[in-house]
Amino acid sequence: MARNKYDVDETLETKFDMKQIKRLFSYVGRYRKKLIMTIMLMLFSSALGMVIPVLMQRVMDIYIPNHDKKGILLMAALAALIILATAYILRIKIKWTSQIGQGIIHELRRELFIHLEELPFSYYDSRPHGKIQVRIVNYVNNISDLLSNGIVNTITDCCSLFFIVGFMFYYSVPLTLICMCGLPILIAIVLFVKKKQRRGWQLASNKQSNLNAYIAESINGVRVTQAFVREDKNLGIFNNLSGSYRKAWMSVIKYNFMIGPTVQFISILATAAVYWVGIHWIMGGNDIISVGALTALTIYISQFWNPINTLASFYNSLLTAISYLERIFETIDEPVNVKDAPGAVEMPPIKGEVEFSHVVFSYEPGVRILNDVNFKANVGDSFAIVGPTGAGKSTIVNLISRFYNIDSGKILIDGIDINSVTIKSLRKQMGVMMQDSFIFSGTIMDNIRYGNREASDEDVIRAAKTVCAHDFIMSMENGYQTQVNERGSRLSAGQRQLISFARALLADPKILILDEATSSIDTETELLLQQGLQELLKGRTSFIIAHRLSTIKSSSCIMYIDQGNILEKGTHDELMAKDGYYKELYMSQYAFLEKM
């Protein structure tokens, strides 16, 4: 399957539209009550703030000319109380908006994570995992402020703006109109930078995604990097990716920073014009406006431009967030192709009969991996699958667990089409050990119990003994309670496989799938393991992929697969007698071992 790489920008499958903004705000609606309470508090705070210019006007027009010290002190005390009240309300607002914002982020990230867990293997096959991680962490974080403070401040300031304009018209209609002359210029600039901002942030998010993908890949492969002394070469790649992100970010951020200074510049010009005209009227002896009224008006003018600046900032944040929202919603909307069919039922207790009937499968359209595959495994059979690399061996066992959808044909378990049952009820009754022996951070006990949370400690130990893992586990500092790191970096490859094997066996499955289960186990341990498996595999249907053919000689059936077809099928003795592909593979491996 074609895979996106860290040096390839992702393309959007679906373009942004305003419905996605509405969809974003649906997350806000879950916190409607607290949001309304916050907005009401902020409106009350804003209303209190509008009283201060009125107090200033009374002081300058009435109390100062009349030398009324008590009146001045009273107005000062009222102003101080208003400032304290607004400060306390601001404290509550910060607390509540933080709770709202983080609650929304949690819900959005949770929905993303749930969906990622449901997506089929094909989704993860097609892109670097770092590009997936950046969406659920970085992109969601980048819209958190927009979903909390941005919305509250915008709604509050829009309401406040309405009252501010009313007070401004009350004091002077001509001066208010002079102040508003700068708005058309601001609107023109905002519309000019809109398209450039959106495209710029799309490019920046792509470069950030590429950088994150390479960092994740480098961390996972750090041992290989150091083993082959690739540090300098990798640093060069990192510098190129980081430089591309920095260049894209610097290119677009200048448009973001353009709005704030523009608002400030226009507000200064408008305020200066109002001062010039107002003072000209006062000096001319006109009664159009008083000194106190002009002072109050200029305070309202400064308050008028603050909400304008907030709205421009919100617009900026919205344009920035759009580039992240496109990726977030694209991920959430990624179709779950491998899912329960309508009317799917619970899989009854499995006995273990498995049949492939004319199965055709391809990862990419037109490129077949399996071509009309047919076979039947009876209850208790052990089927070994051999063949060259890329022949489709792992694909067959992945299809039994329905990790992918087949193109055509049927896969039957106990005569039941696996497409007609729920995926969870199917996979719960299977034991799967893949080539990648993934170990989770935690104790060894927890890792083995991962496949069966109800298993007792005794069950865990019994499974470990069966696969010959008990001795090495007990040799560790805390035995089964020993903490292991993510991916089991403290353990050898063989130890990781043995723990993964115990995990699969603990589930007590009727169908057991072993994909290169013994590839990292030494020969001595493998001999011991085979002894335990002979008893364990009785009554279970097993599918075994192994390159060491000596480990599968006793299998009920061996299938030789190449180019998507079963070329040979039979027991070890039958296939050796045929003098065909299997014998050639077996003898070449035997000859190789003889030379060692």
pLDDT of 284: 75
Measure the CA–CA gap between 502 and 455, rounded to whole angstroms.
12
Sole residue written with tokens 């353009």: 258
Give whichever of 184-188, 255-259, 399-403, 590-594 has the largest mean pLDDT: 399-403
pLDDT of 528: 57
Measure the CA–CA gap between 134 and 517, rounded to whole angstroms.
33
Q: Which ranges in the chain are annotated with CATH 1.20.1560.10?
A: 21-332
Q: Which ranges in the chain are annotated with CATH 3.40.50.300?
A: 351-429+541-596
pLDDT single digits (tens) 488-540: 667 877 788 788 878 877 877 889 888 776 665 666 666 656 665 665 667 78
- Domain spanning 21-332: which CATH class is it, in words? mainly alpha
Long-range contact set of residues 202-205: C-beta below 8 Å, sequence gap at least 24:
202/12, 202/323, 202/326, 203/9, 203/248, 203/251, 203/252, 204/245, 204/248, 204/249, 204/251, 204/252, 204/323, 205/139, 205/323, 205/324, 205/327
β-pair type (557-562, 382-386): parallel
pLDDT of 274: 85
pTM score = 0.70
Question: For the domain 351-429+541-596, what is the CATH code?
Answer: 3.40.50.300
Measure the CA–CA gap between 315 and 144, rounded to whole angstroms.
15
Is residue 75 within 8 A of residue 117, CB to CB? The reply is no
Lowest mean pLDDT among 56-60, 455-459, 545-549: 545-549
pLDDT single digits (tens) 50-88: 788 888 888 888 888 888 888 889 989 998 998 899 889
Measure the CA–CA gap between 446 and 568, rounded to whole angstroms.
41
Q: What is the mean pLDDT of residues 404-413?
A: 93
pLDDT-derived band at 315, boundaries 50, 70, 90:
confident
Compare 436 and 375 and report the one with higher pLDDT: 375
pLDDT of 141: 79
Half-sphere exposure of 241 (CA within 13 A, CB side): 23
Residue whose C-alpha is closest to residue 12's, from 217, 247, 20: 20
For residue 309, give both structure tokens: 């600046």
Q: Residue 562, Cβ neighbours under 10 Å: how many?
A: 17
Compare 123 and 198 and report the one with higher pLDDT: 123
pLDDT single digits (tens) 550-569: 778 888 899 999 888 999 99
pLDDT-derived band at 13, boundaries 50, 70, 90:
low
Q: What is the mean pLDDT of residues 258-284?
A: 82
Q: What is the mean pLDDT of residues 107-123?
A: 87
pLDDT of 149: 63
Compute the C-alpha angle 460/466/472, nearest 5°: 75
Measure the CA–CA gap between 163 and 193, rounded to whole angstroms.
29
pLDDT of 23: 79
Is residue 319 within 8 A of residue 142, CB to CB? The reply is no
- Rounded to 5 degrees, φ, ψ at 378 are -80, 165
Is residue 3 within 8 A of residue 116, CB to CB? The reply is no
Task: Encode burial over 488-519: b for 16+ CB neighbours within 10 A, e otherwise.
Answer: beebeebbbbbbbbbbbbbbebbbbbbbbbbb
pLDDT of 212: 86
Whether 279 has a pLDDT exceeding 70, the answer reads yes
Q: What percent of the chain has pLDDT over 70?
A: 90
Is residue 262 within 8 A of residue 251, CB to CB? The reply is no
pLDDT of 356: 95
Q: Residue 417, Cβ neighbours under 10 Å: how many?
A: 13
Rounded to the nearest 10 degrees, what angle do helices 18-28 and 69-118 cross at?
Answer: 110
pLDDT of 1: 43
Whether 355 has a pLDDT exceeding 90, the answer reads yes
Q: Is 283 exposed, middle or buried (0-12, 13-18, 19+ CB in 10 A)?
A: exposed
Adjacent-strand bridge partners of 416:
413
Whether 433 has a pLDDT exceeding 80, the answer reads no
Please, what is the end-to-end C-alpha distance for the chain in angstroms?
37
For residue 41, give both structure tokens: 């508090």
